[in-house]
Structure 1
Amino acid sequence: MATEVTDFYGRRYRVGESDRELLGHSRNWVLAAACVAMLVAGAGQYGFGLIVGGDYWLLAIWVATQAVAVFPMAWLRERLHVKPMLAMPAGAVLTAAGDLFQGPATAVLGGLGAAVVYGTCFGVVAKWFPERRTYLGLVSGSFAAGAVLFATPLPIIALVVITAAGIVLREPPADWWPAKPDPRKWALDKTVNLSLRHSRPAIRNYTPGQLLRCPTSAVMYVLVACAAAAWLFDVAYTAAFVASSGWGYAFAAVTVCVLTLASGVARWATGWAGEQFGVGRVVRAALALGALGQLLMIVAGQHQSGVLMVFAALLVGTTAGCCYALLPALVEAHFGDQAGLLNFGLVYSAKAVGGIVGIGLATTMVAMYGFAAGFLLAAGLGVLGAVAAAMLRQPGVPRLLVPA
């Protein structure tokens, strides 16, 4: 029997129903289905960069469309109460059309399809795991790991796998919470909720409109745009840079695989670091170390050091994965969790700016000044992002608190 409880902050929770009662099986099946669907949807991001022969503007169009569309697609789905069983097949058709890699039109369709899948999977998993936000890193990491599928028959795989995942993805009742832990203890007890050791919850829940009017959102937007631009530059240009530095295509492919898989694996494991050291600290450190990795890429290419190149790719991929995995927690820590995916979608849309700068406009810079200039720009953007992360302040909280 379901009952409603309220915590210290006034947040409501629906407790008393288990996931097995509501689904007929463990909620872990929902997590697994979401990860598989995201793996397939994310493959197009790398397909446009690799299969279409280096037409980087197509990749920029795909990325910009996907990033911008996450918020409106999620808003429409919530507004119209579209169930995942209906949203996912639509996303599958759009993703399959995009995976034909035939030009700007398919890049837009692929980006829209990925946005539908991304928003649906992210939203459903967040509702089923309200006490385990780190699991969102598994979903995000699967999207990044889609690079391993870019050379497969993606349209067929997208239609079958994403549609099948939609059958498994079902949403819980509003404000659902599992039997354990007690949500009232979770809101206050640092021994139960480890993330409270380094950050307090948002002072209140912000709607998307209120978020846009808050200066903190502008700082966070800059942070995400810088991180995305640096990361997407690496995704687009690493293979060409490695090949132009004297290595063969095989080593270039290995380097790209290390880069992308490191990002995916890091997203799966980053939640622990955020709980132990604080989300803000980990994001700042990741951006700074990522900038160092960009510089190491240049050194490795100039000295033709294969070991250093692989290490640099590992460092860049890992730190980028950390930033993306912790972004949902960063948004919730500043703006609350009530709007959930909608607030995240607004901040995530900064990835579109990063795609245009890091992929599209970088084409001109690389053509004029070489790859080293592009990696220097990526390093500078990483440093700027770290500075922006250091400037983040929770809205409504004074800089100096009265001692207890």
Structure 2
Amino acid sequence: MTTTDLPTSVPYREVTDANGRVYRLGETDIDIMGRKRKWMVILPWVGMMGISSAEYAFASAEDTLHQAHLWSEGSIFWLLTTWVFFQAAVAFPAGRLRETGKLPARWAMMLGALGTLCGYLSLAYAPSVTLAFIGFGMFSGMGAGMVYATCVNMVGKWYPERKGGKTGFVNGGFAYGSVPFVFLFTNVMDISNFKVVLVTVGVFLAGVVAVAGSFFKDPPKNWWPAEIDPLNPPEDRRARRSLEKNPPAVHQYSPVEAWKTGRVALMWFCLACTSGVNIFGISFQIDIGKEAGFAGGIVATAMSLKAIVNGTGRGVIGWLSDLYGRKRCLLYVCVILGAAQFGILWSAEAENLPLFLIFSAISGFGGGAIFPMFAAMTADYFGENNNATNYGMVYSSKLVSGLGAGMGFVVVDAWGLDGAFILAGCISFFAGFVALFLTPPGRPRTRSSGGIKPNPQPISREMD
């Protein structure tokens, strides 16, 4: 079933605003899927938690994998890079298949569950690092990419009027879902039990993704909540403020149209820089903590704190962006993420554990907050109908930013951890400068983009 062929016996009408954008009104969430739309926040959140440990807890398993399989440290870092590469690479084609109806949301989630299981089985049993690159790096990465793209875009379709906080909440599951596994891989797993631990975790997480995904359902194209008037300021205070600060796209942009605006390229570059810094921090924060002389358990605590704040920060910044605007929040996040890299370096050199924990948390907040900003901003700029493909283009920047692990290893080897963290901080600041040039396409460049202006002669169509 696709978003363009959704049977319903409920009458609906289509209205057009002054910019020519069409809104489909009349059907409620219960009419469409038999349950409240809040479930399309809860279930994607659960699905995101199911894939999070493959990225965020991987660094915690590094030592055990090195000892158990005798893989080099460089190979292990490139394993994570490969995983991130394929996770990003699948976003655009999966989004295109989703929007053409060839890949229903439920099937995308099932494929993601299968990839998750393959990844953990590969880490447990791969006889060579080459097979681990195929099983974990490629299949698990592609599976995670399908789950990520499906979950993030699902919530944006069901909450087009205030997507920031909801998108941030769902996005947060990609981080703090890894917290128990950071402790598990650091404090419980060793070379005597790593196969049992990895297989058990893989089966459990694949089941979580599959069960959550089995209930997924898309709304019809152009769907808009029946209780929210798209042509006039809504009565709901939260929806009204969100639409004032982040007005909906002037029309539903196709991927080609979105690219021609130039905004996709700017978003791509900014996300490549900031997510690269985030992945670098995930990969090397444990190393710099150990170099500073902090105990392994303390460093694991710092990573867990980073993951928790990374996840909760996504929800918080999404909510704040509904109140104050996506672009303003994005600029602050770039500055915070860059400053945190210098703070981690300084606190490690000073061997100051409390400050190390604080800056780790701040870095986690900045590294996580960038993703819901770009996810929501893509829908704000280009509309929801083609958001899976449009955001797939933006998110494909992780093809480059995934080098934050592999290339980070090269930079650390050449410049040391000090030089690498300084470079990471500067990259984040530069991304903030580039983000200054982001503006919604089709709208005048003013200090305040204003709310939705009603069309005095809307076109409407009643259907029985």
TM-score exceeds 0.5? yes
Per the alignment, residue 207 of structure 1 pairs with 254
Per the alignment, residue 139 of structure 1 pairs with 170
Equivalent in 80, 105, 119 of residue 84 of structure 1: 105
Deviates more, 1:89-98 or 1:335-344: 335-344
* Residue deviations 1:166-214 (CA, integer Å, cap 9, x gap): 2211222333332322222258999842134335444443211222333
1:4 aligned to 2:25?
A: no
Equivalent in 344, 368, 384 of residue 430 of structure 2: 384
Change (3 A) 1:190 1:395: farther
**Which consecutive segments of 4 or more residues in structure 1 shift more than 6 A?**
187-191
1:148 aligned to 2:179?
A: yes
Alignment of 1:343-382 (within 5 A): 343-356=390-403, 358-382=404-428
CA distance in 1, matches of 2:361, 2:148: 25
Q: Quick one: percent identity of the two aligned structures?
A: 28
1:302 aligned to 2:349?
A: yes
Note the C-alpha offset of 1:378: 0.8
SS in 1 for 2:217: coil
Equivalent in 271, 282, 285 of residue 329 of structure 2: 282
CA distance in 1, matches of 2:107, 2:440: 37
Equivalent in 140, 152, 156 of residue 126 of structure 1: 156
Per the alignment, residue 27 of structure 1 pairs with 37
Change (3 A) 1:2 1:183: farther
Normalised to the residue count of structure 2, the TM-score between the two structures is 0.81
CA distance in 2, matches of 1:188, 1:349: 38
Change (3 A) 1:38 1:191: closer
Alignment of 1:162-241 (within 5 A): 162-185=209-232, 192-241=239-288
Per the alignment, residue 3 of structure 2 pairs with none
Asked whether the 8 Å contact 1:7–1:183 carries over to 2, the reply is no
Per the alignment, residue 292 of structure 2 pairs with 245
Change (3 A) 1:257 1:25: same
Per the alignment, residue 49 of structure 2 pairs with 39
Asked whether the 8 Å contact 2:348–2:356 carries over to 1, the reply is yes
SS in 2 for 1:14: strand
Per the alignment, residue 271 of structure 1 pairs with 318
CA distance in 2, matches of 1:295, 1:117: 33
Deviates more, 1:205-214 or 1:106-115: 205-214
Asked whether the 8 Å contact 2:94–2:103 carries over to 1, the reply is no
SS in 2 for 1:185: coil
Alignment of 1:319-334 (within 5 A): 319-334=366-381
Q: Give the letter aligned to residue 368 of structure 2.
A: G
Equivalent in 61, 64, 68 of residue 51 of structure 1: 61
1:104 aligned to 2:157?
A: no
SS in 1 for 2:402: helix
SS in 2 for 1:168: coil
CA distance in 1, matches of 2:218, 2:442: 32
Change (3 A) 1:334 1:169: closer
Normalised to the residue count of structure 1, the TM-score between the two structures is 0.92
SS in 1 for 2:142: helix
Q: Give the letter aligned to residue 24 of structure 1.
A: G
Asked whether the 8 Å contact 1:2–1:14 carries over to 2, the reply is no
Change (3 A) 1:325 1:62: same
Larger radius of gyration: 2
Asked whether the 8 Å contact 2:222–2:385 carries over to 1, the reply is no
Per the alignment, residue 67 of structure 1 pairs with 88
CA distance in 2, matches of 1:215, 1:36: 34
CA distance in 2, matches of 1:317, 1:37: 21
Per the alignment, residue 258 of structure 1 pairs with 305
Asked whether the 8 Å contact 2:264–2:393 carries over to 1, the reply is no
CA distance in 2, matches of 1:180, 1:341: 25
Deviates more, 1:196-205 or 1:389-398: 196-205
Specify every segment of 5 or more residues in structure 2 that has no aligned partner in the other structure, as ranges.
1-9, 64-72, 127-131, 185-196, 451-464
Deviates more, 1:165-174 or 1:385-394: 165-174
Deviates more, 1:133-142 or 1:23-32: 23-32
Per the alignment, residue 363 of structure 2 pairs with 316
Asked whether the 8 Å contact 2:172–2:310 carries over to 1, the reply is yes
Change (3 A) 1:80 1:200: closer
CA distance in 1, matches of 2:175, 2:24: 33
* Residue deviations 1:349-371 (CA, integer Å, cap 9, x gap): 11221111x21111111112211
Q: Give the letter aligned to residue 45 of structure 1.
A: E
Q: Give the letter aligned to residue 15 of structure 1.
A: L
Specify every segment of 5 or more residues in structure 1 that has no aligned partner in the other structure, as ranges.
none
Note the C-alpha offset of 1:3: 1.3
Alignment root-mean-square deviation, CA: 2.4
CA distance in 2, matches of 1:165, 1:221: 30
Bigger RCO of structures 1 and 2 (CA < 8 A, at least 6 apart): 2
Deviates more, 1:175-184 or 1:292-301: 175-184
Change (3 A) 1:35 1:349: same
Deviates more, 1:220-229 or 1:390-399: 390-399
Q: Give the letter aligned to residue 61 of structure 1.
A: T
Q: Give the letter aligned to residue 21 of structure 1.
A: D
Aligned length: 402
Deviates more, 1:297-306 or 1:159-168: 159-168
Asked whether the 8 Å contact 2:276–2:398 carries over to 1, the reply is yes
CA distance in 2, matches of 1:277, 1:20: 31
Change (3 A) 1:178 1:197: closer
CA distance in 2, matches of 1:186, 1:270: 24
Q: Give the letter aligned to residue 230 of structure 1.
A: V
Note the C-alpha offset of 1:234: 0.5
SS in 1 for 2:232: helix
Deviates more, 1:358-367 or 1:96-105: 96-105
Change (3 A) 1:61 1:124: same
Note the C-alpha offset of 1:291: 0.9
Change (3 A) 1:194 1:39: same
